[in-house]
Amino acid sequence: MLKSDLELEQESQCSLNVIRTKATEILTKFTPQSEQNSNQKKGKNTKKSTKSKKSSLFQILLNTYEATQDPLTRCALAYLLKNKCKINELDEDPEEFTRNRRKKEIEIERLKDQLQSRIPKGRDLTGEEWLKTLEIATANVAQNEKEAKAWQAALLRKTADVPFPVAYESKEDMTWLKNDKNRLFVRFKGKGLRKLTFEIYCDKHHLHYFQRFLEDQEIKRSSKNQHSSSVFTLCSGRLAWLPREEKGEAWKVNQLNLYCALDTRLLTTEGTQQVIEEKVTKITKILTVTKQKDDLNDEQRAFITRQQSTLDRINNPFPRPSKPNYQGQPSILVGVSFGLKKPVTVAVVDVVKNEVRKKIYPLKLGLAEYW
């Protein structure tokens, strides 16, 4: 596509005037369509609107170029794309074109490198890859700057010694249990963890949260799924290893932690009702918009069924204590920080709604039957 006017003439076997005439026809044909697309996304700023029109027209011309086989039409489209969707009446400067093409080639190369760097790379847990790179770097001279930077990055990269955290975003990804000795346990969904049971160790002032997680699931099971899990107290969880400096086997030295996020409004009847009203409004709006669409596919119909099921069950209340919602001062912002170098806010009051939205509590998990 990045071709000079002379190359376009040779490829189309037509003069530059013929290519310009064809480009004018194409521009006249697609300009109303691009304006219609940009009007749907019209903003308040005129400059942004103009830029949106150009980008919309450019995309239309690019899609047409990829779908066209006629040589003259392809050259006319390439001419427009090269000249920013305009007809250039002046003769092309070969030197300026060469510089501009080189700039674009560099941009493409950089973009390819960025996309390549985003591909996940496996960790070098044994150190074999690091030693191999060190051997290559000491015995050879880099062919170019790119190769030298790759060697440097591989040698300076610090590999984590513990597995990556595992996120459990669904409210039912964790199953809570209690044994005969009144001890709490948890199981996780997923390959490799499904058959394992973990015993919970936590402070006493955190224990009632995990008892609530268990109660929510037991109530839902005993009612034969007549309650909705969307109002479970537990929102999500994250299982992660906390590395330590002691020496020994990784699964004995490092500490396994579970981080649970919960909505504190769901601890009381009044707060739960507030959450239910918000969810009902949101689900009703989604269903209204989705049902208006024609030719729904199987996934969309299944989504509507799930949302409707949630809407039918969400008003079946969980037995929770009654407590008036907290009415705070809108001008007060509350936070708790630990340490001067790396302060961490663990609880923040919403200034607009005057309420604590979420809290995250870490707890230690003892491995009941693994390792």
Sign, CA torsion 298/299/304/306: positive
- For every residue of 1-53, which 3-state class applies, written as one string? CCCCHHHHHHHHCCCHHHHHHHHHHHHHHHHHHHHHHHHHCCCCCHHHHHHHH
pLDDT value, residue 91: 82
pLDDT value, residue 351: 43
Q: How far is 364 from 255, CA to CA, in rounded Å?
A: 8
Is 129 in contact with 150 (CB distance < 8 Å)? no
* CB-based burial label for 186 (10 Å; 0-12, 13-18, 19+): buried
Q: Which of 341, 290, 287 is nearest to 312 (CA)?
A: 287
Q: How far is 22 from 28, CA to CA, in rounded Å?
A: 10
pLDDT value, residue 276: 92
Q: How far is 197 from 311, CA to CA, in rounded Å?
A: 33
pLDDT value, residue 289: 86
pLDDT value, residue 94: 83
Is 186 in contact with 201 (CB distance < 8 Å)? no
pLDDT value, residue 191: 73
> What is the reported pTM?
0.55
Domain map of the chain by residue range?
5-92, 166-367
pLDDT in tens, the chain (371 residues): 678 888 888 888 888 888 888 888 888 888 765 554 555 554 445 555 555 566 688 888 888 888 888 888 888 888 888 888 888 888 888 888 888 888 888 888 888 888 877 777 777 767 788 899 899 999 988 888 888 988 888 888 877 777 788 888 888 889 999 988 889 999 998 777 778 888 988 888 888 999 999 999 999 999 888 888 889 999 999 988 888 888 877 778 888 888 899 988 999 999 999 999 999 999 999 888 888 887 778 888 888 898 888 888 988 888 899 988 877 777 777 666 666 665 554 444 444 444 444 444 445 454 444 33
